[in-house]
Amino acid sequence: MADKAKGFFVTGDPLIYGADVAIVITLLGILVFLTFFKKWGWLWREWLTTVDHKKIGIMYLVSSLLMLFRGGVDALLMRMQLAFPNSHFLDSQHYNEIFTTHGTIMILFMAMPFMFALFNIVVPLQLGARDVAYPFLNALSFWLFFFGAMLFNLSFVVGGSPDAGWLSYPPLSELAGSPGPGQNFYIWGIQISGIGSLATGINFLVTILKMRAPGMKLMKMPLFSWSVLASCITIIFAFPVLTVTLALLFVDRFFGAHIFTATGGGNPMMYVNLIWMWGHPEVYIVVLPAFGIYSEVVSTFSKKKIFGYKSMVFSMMIISVLSYFTWVHHFFTMGAGADVNTFFAITTMAIGIPTGVKVFNWLFTMFRGRISMTQPMLWTLAFIPCFVVGGATGVMLAVAPADYQYHNSYFLIAHFHQVLIGGVVFGYLAGLYYWWPKMFGFKLNDRLGKWAFWTWNIGFYVCFMPQYALGFMGMTRRVYTYGWDMGWAPYNLVSTGGAFLMGIGFVFQVWQILYSIKNGERDLTGDPWNGRTLEWSIPSPAPLYNFAHIPKVRSDDAWWDMKEHKHGAASEKENKEFEPIHMPKNSGIPFFMAACWFVAGFGLTFEWVWVGIAGLAGVAICLLARSFQRKTDYYIPVDEIKRTEASLGRVV
């Protein structure tokens, strides 16, 4: 028994024991808190069963910030190990596990949910809609992501973490290269949350196409919604590829097939092709919405219409198509031949063109505007130089023969962190600061925000600029140790310093949020930034039904137009009668169904077949139960709408 437990729990590392203790204490703390303050019912009714897109958005946000913390701790552990040559802080195996989980968590469990948080919080409001197209599916997507992420995170205390890199190339990720449950955690954690991501892509695509307010033609739609549309199209084509790839890898590992091993006639190159057919579009999936955020922020805080709206839309759509013609640049060095390499080198460079155009359009939105240095704007301004340089190194990487020298080196590491942090994270943070008042009804403190901004930004350059140099010095990614002989030591030490500065920036942000909950400037107008799009036309936080009256849209920048010409919600003379509002009912099924997936994933991870089957049976039962539910919706009566509107300070 004790032996069995010893194989089950990860043992032997003081860092892991520390984590065990922290997890138990945190869980106990939560349980005691919920019981003592009698919050269980509240938690169940208001959150676990909710189908309200705004609450789902907030749950995504909280999860992604927690994952940012976990992924960030992974990053700091790695940087601590690399700070000095011949360091013995982590051993090879532990280091391999940490970089694998760092990459996986940051892309799939931090960036994706952060993005979905903003989709959920903003898109229906921006479209003048009362909900997303499929609210139940939306809740299910969240819980699938959540339980998938939990399954993946469990690996570092139970069973052992995956250690084959965040894309897990075979043959290393096959049973012979990675025995044990770690790699299975990777497969099932991603697989379960991936189903949720695909469903979210479908959900928001339909929401955008079908649920826009009357008058909002596609070419009058705000750019953030456009960026979500582009991103969703890409999700719909990319995620099934990931699902199939991981399923095939599972077949190899579980049933002893050899789809991705050359012995027996399989082919590891097939895996590398497939995973990047998802993987490269994936980075555009996460960066496109950031482009949308920058567009909204630049326009709002320059008090000016966005420059070249059509060009912006066109470039985003081109990016989502071109993103499928770039995957081979991840393995120029695989000997694909000069024809293939040349083709993909040029298609990869070409994606720089629409991206560059967007930068010029943002610049010329600011040109002859009036720029106010609010927090969202600061992050947007910091994004431009960071992304322009990161994009330039991206073009350099696309030059196939030059890539023979950059491939798998720290030059590459510096490049993709520069575009993913400078592009994606800065963008989502800009979005977070921008829409925070809409979510919670208060602004985040400015002074602490500036501290966070500067430590993040300075930390970023201190951390990643030396890594470009390290790449030219021949340092490859994923080495856990190095000697004094190569001259890498000072650069690594500086880089580690930068990483810790960024960590301090994150701490400032946590402090900023906690401080502002109490002391943040309250927003009573619903329109604290003098915004341009419909989400600013309703109170903050938005009522359950979002819009008491569905707005009529006459131009792009709909809310700005209403304010300018005093019509619609901006004119209080238009006193229309309220009508009962049709809303979906809360449901516990999404939570239970995802929990059953978790059980199934856990069973298959440890190859406990019966647990896996039991979990899948649970999923089937949940589906069946849902199909027999008849009363899934209700109407909010007029009286309640009147009361809510009056309490939010609206004329009734």
Partner 1 sequence: MKKHTSSYLWKVSALGITLLALLTGCDRRYLVFNPSGPVAQKEFDLIVLSAVLCAAVVIPVLILLFYIVYRYRDKPGNKAPYTPEWNDSKILEIVWWGIPVIIICILGVYTAKTTYSLVKPPVTDVKPITIQVTSLDWKWLFQYPDQKIATVNYAEIPAGVPVQFQLTSDSMMNSFWVPELGGQEYTMPGMAMRLWLQADKPGTYFGSGANFTGRGFAHMKFKVVAKPQAEFNQWAKQIKKSAPALTQERYDLLTKKGLAEKQSFSSYPESLFHNTIDRNGGKYMKPEMKHGGHDMSMMDHDK
Write out the binding residues for partner 1, residues 370-429 only, by CB under 8 A.
370-373, 381, 384-385, 388-389, 392-393, 395-396, 398-405, 407-409
Taking the complex as a whole, the smallest distance from the CB of residue 309 to partner 1 amounts, in Å, to: 7
Residue 214 vs 483, nearer CB to partner 1: 483
Please identify which residue in 18, 474, 580, 649 interacts with partner 1, judged by CB under 8 A: 474
Residue 52 vs 403, nearer CB to partner 1: 403
Tokens matching residue 17: 């024991």
530 binds partner 1 (CB under 8 A): no
Taking the complex as a whole, the smallest distance from the CB of residue 562 to partner 1 amounts, in Å, to: 16
Please identify which residue in 23, 80, 175, 269 interacts with partner 1, judged by CB under 8 A: 269
480 binds partner 1 (CB under 8 A): yes
Q: How many residues does the chain have?
A: 652
Q: Phi and psi (nearest 5°) for 616?
A: -65, -35
Binding mask 243-262 for partner 1 (x = CB under 8 A): ------------------xx
Distance from C-alpha of 485 to C-alpha of 494, rounded to nearest angstrom:
18
Please identify which residue in 96, 197, 457, 495 interacts with partner 1, judged by CB under 8 A: 96
Taking the complex as a whole, the smallest distance from the CB of residue 440 to partner 1 amounts, in Å, to: 26
Taking the complex as a whole, the smallest distance from the CB of residue 375 to partner 1 amounts, in Å, to: 15
Taking the complex as a whole, the smallest distance from the CB of residue 164 to partner 1 amounts, in Å, to: 8
Distance from C-alpha of 255 to C-alpha of 139, rounded to nearest angstrom:
33
364 binds partner 1 (CB under 8 A): yes
Residue 368 vs 518, nearer CB to partner 1: 368
Contact 511, 448 (CB under 8 A): yes
Q: Which of residues 177-196 bind partner 1 (CB under 8 A)?
A: 177
Residue 49 vs 481, nearer CB to partner 1: 481
Residue 142, CB-side half-sphere exposure with 13 Å CA sphere: 34
Taking the complex as a whole, the smallest distance from the CB of residue 369 to partner 1 amounts, in Å, to: 5
- Ramachandran class of 165: left when φ > 0, alpha when ψ lies in -120 to 50, beta otherwise: left
- Residue 526: closest CA among 430, 646, 644, 648: 648
**DSSP H helices in 256-306:** 268-301
Please identify which residue in 49, 87, 243, 476 interacts with partner 1, judged by CB under 8 A: 476
**DSSP H helices in 164-322:** 182-210, 223-255, 268-301, 309-322
Q: Phi and psi (nearest 5°) for 446?
A: -75, -45
484 binds partner 1 (CB under 8 A): no
Distance from C-alpha of 158 to C-alpha of 601, rounded to nearest angstrom:
14
Contact 186, 100 (CB under 8 A): yes
Taking the complex as a whole, the smallest distance from the CB of residue 264 to partner 1 amounts, in Å, to: 7
- Which of the stretches 56-64, 183-191, 266-274, 423-431 binds partner 1 when contact is defined by CB under 8 A? 266-274
Helix (H, G, I), strand (E, B) or coil at 334: helix
Please identify which residue in 107, 125, 306, 432 interacts with partner 1, judged by CB under 8 A: 306
Residue 120 vs 409, nearer CB to partner 1: 409
Q: What amino acid occupies position 579?
A: E
Contact 409, 92 (CB under 8 A): no
How many amino acids of this chain bind partner 1 (CB under 8 A)?
Answer: 91
- Ramachandran class of 159: left when φ > 0, alpha when ψ lies in -120 to 50, beta otherwise: left
- Ramachandran class of 405: left when φ > 0, alpha when ψ lies in -120 to 50, beta otherwise: alpha
Cβ neighbours around 286 below 10 Å, total? 23
If you search the block for the tokens 């939010």, which residue do you land on? Answer: 648
Please identify which residue in 160, 268, 289, 459 interacts with partner 1, judged by CB under 8 A: 268
- Ramachandran class of 622: left when φ > 0, alpha when ψ lies in -120 to 50, beta otherwise: alpha
Contact 166, 180 (CB under 8 A): no
Taking the complex as a whole, the smallest distance from the CB of residue 402 to partner 1 amounts, in Å, to: 5
Distance from C-alpha of 650 to C-alpha of 156, rounded to nearest angstrom:
51
Taking the complex as a whole, the smallest distance from the CB of residue 275 to partner 1 amounts, in Å, to: 13
Q: Which of residues 434-473 bind partner 1 (CB under 8 A)?
A: 469, 471-473
Q: What amino acid occupies position 2?
A: A
Residue 349 vs 504, nearer CB to partner 1: 349
219 binds partner 1 (CB under 8 A): no
Residue 489 vs 614, nearer CB to partner 1: 489
365 binds partner 1 (CB under 8 A): yes
Bridge partners of residue 583, in order along the sequence? 634
Residue 41 vs 335, nearer CB to partner 1: 335
Residue 268 vs 449, nearer CB to partner 1: 268
Q: What contacts 528, CB < 8 A, 6 or more positions away?
A: 437, 443, 521, 540
Residue 409 vs 509, nearer CB to partner 1: 409
Residue 83 vs 542, nearer CB to partner 1: 83
Taking the complex as a whole, the smallest distance from the CB of residue 189 to partner 1 amounts, in Å, to: 20
Q: Which of residues 125-164 bind partner 1 (CB under 8 A)?
A: 163-164
- Residue 97: closest CA among 165, 198, 13, 20: 165
Residue 209 vs 479, nearer CB to partner 1: 479
If you search the block for the tokens 């809310």, which residue do you land on? Answer: 559
Distance from C-alpha of 477 to C-alpha of 414, rounded to nearest angstrom:
10
Q: Are strands 581-584 and 633-636 parallel, antiparallel or unpaired?
A: antiparallel
Please identify which residue in 36, 38, 264, 447 interacts with partner 1, judged by CB under 8 A: 264
Please identify which residue in 3, 36, 263, 651 interacts with partner 1, judged by CB under 8 A: 263
- Residue 495: closest CA among 65, 82, 43, 58: 82
Q: Which of residues 62-91 bind partner 1 (CB under 8 A)?
A: none
Residue 158 vs 357, nearer CB to partner 1: 357
Helix (H, G, I), strand (E, B) or coil at 51: coil
Contact 293, 428 (CB under 8 A): yes
Contact 333, 321 (CB under 8 A): no
Residue 96 vs 141, nearer CB to partner 1: 96
Residue 64 vs 81, nearer CB to partner 1: 81
Residue 96 vs 323, nearer CB to partner 1: 96
Contact 569, 538 (CB under 8 A): yes
- Which of the stretches 4-12, 32-40, 264-272, 431-439 binds partner 1 when contact is defined by CB under 8 A? 264-272
334 binds partner 1 (CB under 8 A): yes
Q: Which of residues 486-525 bind partner 1 (CB under 8 A)?
A: 486-487
Please identify which residue in 88, 265, 575, 631 interacts with partner 1, judged by CB under 8 A: 265
Q: Which of residues 336-355 bind partner 1 (CB under 8 A)?
A: 337-338, 341-342, 345-346, 349-350, 352-353
